[in-house]
Structure 1
Amino acid sequence: MNDSPAYARGAGPFQSPSTLNDRLRFDAGELLVFARTLLEAAALAPDIAATVAQTLLEGDLLGHDTHGLQLLGGYLRELDAGSMKRAGTPRVIAERSVVATWDGERLPGPWLVHEAIQWATPRAKLHGQASVVIRRSHHIACLAAYLEHPARAGLVVLVSSSDPAVASVAPFGGTTAVFTPNPIAAGFPTGGDPVMIDISASVTTNGMTARLRDGGERGRHAWWLDDKGCPTNDPSV
């Protein structure tokens, strides 16, 4: 069993791109230090900064690069604006032996989710299941980044997220956004490496939509609806 973080399991050193189309490659350990240093410079509590940096890096290394370190700049702006809280603890709204509801107080989402998993893990081992619901969390980044540790501990883990304040998905046959992409991730233990699944209930994500739109690119398929409800591969509609 290998409990080391993903960045320690195969990240290569920086390599100059051979063509303009090749992606730059950086040492993951150095990226971790870089991200943590920037977050601490923005006055994020050191323990929270370390968890956020690790989670963003894990997202990149798991292949979800729209939800990895690309988010760091936005997180720093949110800290500067005061819309992401720098320190504190979640407020417990309700708690029983295996269930809890927390108010995240706008603390960084990656740290809140890790805290919730740490709360739930021993209870799930003792009672067979445990659940935590968090309201008023900040963005939680890549859901797959939370799966490996509990799955390697022999637990099935489910993580889901919704943001009703930012509707971007129209219901079938509609043209008005009502839902959010509502991602869901699941991790399952096996005799070896765990099975990890991270998908969106929508056909694509807001992060991928923004990346293609800002890059002037089109989707591989008709993933969006125009104002008449017609499918299109143009992410700018």
Structure 2
Amino acid sequence: MKSFSIDELNKFTTSLLVSKKIPQVNAEYIAEMAVRTEAMGILTHGLAVLGYLDNQVPDVFDPGTEPEIIKEKGASVLIDGKNGFSQLAMKLAIEMAMDKAGTMGIAMAAIRNTSWLGALGPYLESIARAGFMAQLWGQSSQCADCAPIGGITGKFSTNPVALAFPTSGDPVIADISTATVSMGAVNRMVRYDEKARARIFMDKNGLPTDDPNAMLDDGSIFFLGGPEYAHKGYGFSLWAEALTAMSGGSANNPDLPQSQNLNLTIIDIEAFGGMNYFDSEIVRFITHIKDTRLRPGFDAIRLPGERAFKSLKDSLQHGLSLSDAKLEMLNRMARKNGVSELK
């Protein structure tokens, strides 16, 4: 393990992206979000995005690709990612939806035909800190990770969703898969020869197992709820597919090129009960839920996002520690693209 300052990593990752002919301002934003996600402890969806982009640019999409506004009507906007950078499409969606929500009370931005965003939650932080509530749905059009209820063959991505709202401190940000785990977590378990803590996978014969290697042999991941209650996650995942179809994107279809589709909703609290009441009620409610007896093995009641913000603060103060494998991944990209390595 070796530690680097956030500023050092931002500069290094920006230089990697600029070496791929990505415009400086775009490279800075993409790099900042990848580093911040990693610093929040989301190791499967942070700097890993850079490895993905290194393989995509310029062979799959042009480094100068910019998102396009297709349709704008009242509180809604439709953005086409042009099979390019989801980070840039997301940035545009956030800016437009926040402006619309501030005027109209609520706004929705749909993004179709874009690339892998990585973790969803970090993109909602700025929205919640500005006093809004937000939800973000993600869908991938070609993944075969989860089977429909009663089936064996994967027909869905792990289709994630993130929810965020402000508090008197850091925002609450829940970022989850509609499956029991993300594919990033599955790949990590396989890499380190780990088993799941429960039988959250289905093997090729339709039987529950704790072995992630089932995914490499025509198996699938159970939806959120596991073998007995997967219908809960199934319903949420179907909603993500419907949002994709609504935006003119491709619901799961292995015959078409891979793309990710996103849907962002932003709500202005002031348009409803008002921020003053919301703040006081959330403070009361959080105090209420934390005042409870603890289960064995737990030392506190935590809210979604607490661990991530603690990790971020530690990284900002002491630097971000990278595993030898993660550092080598970045330096391999540096050597490939003629950029000075991290030392």
- Which of 149, 174, 197 pairs up with 1:197? 174
Pairing 1:214-229 to 2, within 5 Å after superposition:
214-229=191-206
Q: Could you say which residue in structure 1 is the equivalent of 2:97?
A: 120
Deviation at 1:24?
3.8
Residues 55 and 141, structure 1, Cα contact 8 Å, conserved in 2: no
SS at match of 1:86: coil
Give the equivalent residue in structure 1 for 2:18. 40
**Which ranges of structure 1 fall in alignment gaps of 5 or more residues?**
1-22
Aligned partners of 1:77 and 1:105: how far apart in 2? 17
Cα deviation for residue 221 of structure 1 reads 2.5
Q: Is the 2:79–2:89 Cα contact (8 Å) retained in structure 1?
A: no
Name the amino acid aligned to 1:210. Answer: N
Per the alignment, residue 116 of structure 2 pairs with 139
**Local SS of the residue matching 1:93:** strand
Runs of 4+ in 1 over 6 A off after TM superposition: none
The answer to which structure has the higher helix fraction is 2
Shift of 1:192: 2.4
Assess if the C-alpha contact under 8 Å between 1:148 and 1:187 holds in 2: yes
* More off after superposition, 168-177 vs 141-150: 168-177
1:89 is displaced (CA, Å) by 2.6
What is aligned with 1:164? 141
What's the secondary structure of 1:180's corresponding residue?
coil
2:75 equivalent to 1:72: no
> Deviations along 1:145-183, whole A, 9 cap, x unmatched?
111111111100111100122221112332110111110
Residue 115 of structure 1 deviates from its aligned partner by 1.4
What's the secondary structure of 2:114's corresponding residue?
A: coil
Root-mean-square deviation (Å): 1.5
* Among 37, 58, 74, the residue aligned to 1:59: 37
**What corresponds to 2:228 in structure 1?**
none
Deviation at 1:25, TM superposition (A): 3.1
Structure possessing the higher radius of gyration over alpha carbons: 2
Contact 1:55 1:142 in 2 (8 A): no
Structure 2 SS opposite 1:84: coil
Inter-partner Cα distance in structure 2 for 1:167 and 1:119: 32
Aligned residue for 2:95, secondary structure, equals helix
Alpha-carbon distance, 1:187 to partner = 1.1
SS class of match (2:139): coil
Could you say if the C-alpha distance between residues 72 and 89 of structure 1 is closer, same or farther in structure 2, counting changes exceeding 3 Å? closer
Encode CA deviations 1:203-226: one digit per residue, 9 max, x unaligned: 001111112223333223222110
Which residue in 1 is equivalent to 2:160? 183
1:105 is matched with which residue?
Answer: 82
The equivalent of 1:8 in structure 2 is none
Letter in 1 for 2:160: P
Q: For structure 2, which runs of at least 5 residues remain unmatched after alignment?
A: 215-343
Aligned residues: 214
Q: Distance in 2 between matches of 1:154 and 1:32?
A: 27
Q: Deviations over 1:36-66 (max 9, x none)?
A: 1101101111111111111111211222110
Instruction: Kindly indicate whether residue 68 of structure 2 is the aligned counterpart of residue 91 of structure 1.
Output: yes
Amino acid at match of 2:66: T
Distance in 1 (CA, whole Å) between partners of 2:72 and 2:181 is 35
Point out the structure with the larger strand share.
2
CA contact (8 A) 1:98 1:123 kept: yes
> How far is 1:77 from its partner?
1.1
Q: Percent identity?
A: 31
Residues 168 and 181, structure 1, Cα contact 8 Å, conserved in 2: yes
Paired letter, 2:134: V
**8 Å contact from structure 1 (residues 187, 196) kept in 2:** yes
